[in-house]
Amino acid sequence: MNSALKLLSLQARKLSYSIFSLFFFCGALQRSYAQDTLYRFEDTQTLEAGYRDSSGDIIIPLGKYAVCMTDTLIHYALVYDSQQPSWVAINKQGKILYNVLSMDNGPDYAELGLLRIEKGGKIGYADAITGEIAITPKYDGAYPFDAQTGLATVCIGCTLRSENEVSWWTGGQWYTINSKGELQ
């Protein structure tokens, strides 16, 4: 009996140590996550917004960007840069990563987890969660991915035409790609 109690006590201590380690690790992970995250704040009088860290230190000052769409900056944020003027993605230092195509007076909608971006005069796609470029910008025109087919129509050598508030691409060579950027 005595050896059985000792074994049980040893197992209970190991379990307690494992649970403590798990809580410690999760707490450290949560603190690390919170330290790396920026939070949108706003001046209620001017309606200007910026980003601060979990300590309250201002990282991206009020008014640097005309509109800050992203509340919690984990990987990237969508903001409106009135100097370009364009919707752009920024990193945690406020550096512009790329332009985001406009749709209905705001940044492009993500379809299949991808949003259309423009960099160097070409269009590609970025991951809507991480902001990482998923399909290298190399197209002159690109439509959003279709949720039903999983495909997007892109073009090389096409030109953008506009009439009133409606725009479309015309001419060039047209292709269909999947979410990995492979021709279909």
The pLDDT assigned to 146 comes to: 95
The pLDDT assigned to 164 comes to: 87
Range of the domain at 48: 37-100
Look at residue 114 and tell me if it is in a domain.
no
pLDDT digits (tens, 9 = 90+) for 25-72: 444 334 444 568 999 999 999 989 999 999 999 999 999 999 999 999
Check whether 177 has a pLDDT greater than 50. Answer: yes
The pLDDT assigned to 1 comes to: 55
Are 94 and 75 part of one and the same domain? yes
The pLDDT assigned to 87 comes to: 96
Q: For residue 155, what are the contacts with CB-CB under 8 A and spacing of at least 6?
A: 139, 140, 141, 142, 169, 171, 172, 173, 174, 175
Look at residue 59 and tell me if it is in a domain.
yes
User: Amino acid letter at 9?
Assistant: S
**Residue 78 has which token pair?**
């969508």
Q: d(Cα 94, Cα 40) in Å, to the nearest integer? A: 12
The pLDDT assigned to 3 comes to: 59
pTM, two decimals, is 0.77
Look at residue 137 and tell me if it is in a domain.
no
Are 47 and 31 part of one and the same domain? no
Are 14 and 52 part of one and the same domain? no
Check whether 23 has a pLDDT greater than 50. Answer: no
Helix and strand element counts for the chain (H, E) = 1, 18
Check whether 12 has a pLDDT greater than 50. Answer: no
Look at residue 96 and tell me if it is in a domain.
yes
Are 11 and 58 part of one and the same domain? no
Q: What are phi and psi of 109, to 5 degrees?
A: -80, 140
Are 84 and 51 part of one and the same domain? yes
Check whether 6 has a pLDDT greater than 80. Answer: no
pLDDT digits (tens, 9 = 90+) for 93-148: 999 999 999 887 789 889 999 999 999 999 999 999 999 999 999 999 999 999 99
Look at residue 53 and tell me if it is in a domain.
yes
Look at residue 42 and tell me if it is in a domain.
yes
Contacts by residues 143-152 (CB-CB < 8 Å, ≥ 24 positions apart): 144/103, 144/108, 144/109, 144/111, 144/116, 145/111, 145/112, 145/114, 145/179, 146/111, 147/111, 147/112, 150/112, 150/178, 150/179, 151/176, 151/177, 151/178, 151/184, 152/111, 152/125, 152/176, 152/177, 152/179
Domain count, the chain: 2
Are 67 and 94 part of one and the same domain? yes
Q: d(Cα 178, Cα 78) in Å, to the nearest integer? A: 24
